[in-house]
Structure 1
C-alpha cells in the first residue's frame, strides 16, 4: 500500500511541477498513464541510479557543502525525461525543476503523513 501511495504522490508532484514551471512539461497528449509511468521511472532512478551518482560525486559534494546534490537531482530528472513523456527544456531547467519537485514532494509527503495515509511510516 505504501508503494502505491508513494507512486501517486510522485505522479502528482510531477504533474504539479509541469503545471507551475514552464521548463518541465509533459508531451502533448500525455495522459494519466504517461504521468504514472514517469513517476514509476522516477522512483526507479531515485532508488538505483541516484545513490551511485551521489557516491561518485562525493568529493565535489563535500567541497560544495552538499550543493552539488542539486545538480545530481537535475541529472536524475533529466534522465527520467529522456525515457518518458516528460520534457525538460535543458539542463538548467532540469535543475530548477528538480528543486521545485523536491519542494512539492516534501509538501505532499507532509500532507500524506498528517492524514495518516502512509501507514505510520516516517
Structure 2
C-alpha cells in the first residue's frame, strides 16, 4: 500500500508539472479521452522512473554538493531537483514513453513544482491517517 501511495503521489506531482510548465511534456494526443488513455500509463512509468532516480541518485548528489548547498543557503537543491528531472528524461529518451524536458529552466521550474506538490499531497495523506 505504501508503494502505491508513493507512486500515485509522484504521478500527481508530475501531472501538475506537465500541466503548468510548457517545457515539460509527454508526446501523444493533446485532448479528449484519447489523451487520457494514451498518457495515463506513461505518466505512471515516468513517475516510477523519477522516483527510482530520486531514491538512488539524489542522495549521492546531495552529499557530493554539500558545500554548494551551504553556500547557496539551500537553493542548489533546486538544481539537484532539475538534474533528477533531466536525468529521468534522458533515461526515457530511448523508449516510446515520450517524456521530454526542454532546457534547464523548465527542469528547475518542474522540479520545484514536483517538490511542492509532492510535499502537499504527502502532508494531506498524513493528516487523513
TM value normalised by structure 1: 0.87
Gap runs ≥5 in structure 1: 117-122
| Counterpart in the other structure of 2:122 | 109
Q: Which of the residues 42, 54, 65 maps onto 2:73?
A: 65
Deviation at 1:70, TM superposition (A): 0.7
Q: Which of the residues 99, 102, 105 maps onto 1:89?
A: 102
Deviation at 1:31, TM superposition (A): 2.0
**SS across alignment from 1:28:** coil
**SS across alignment from 2:4:** helix
Deviation at 1:115, TM superposition (A): 2.2
Q: Select the structure with the greater relative contact order (CA < 8 A; seq sep ≥ 6).
A: 2
Structure 1 ranges of 4+ moved more than 6 A: none
| Counterpart in the other structure of 1:74 | 82
Deviations 1:47-76 (A, max 9, x none): 110011111111111111111111011000
Quote the RMSD (CA, aligned, Å). Answer: 1.3
How many corresponding residue pairs? 116
**SS across alignment from 1:31:** helix
Deviation at 1:99, TM superposition (A): 0.5
TM value normalised by structure 2: 0.83
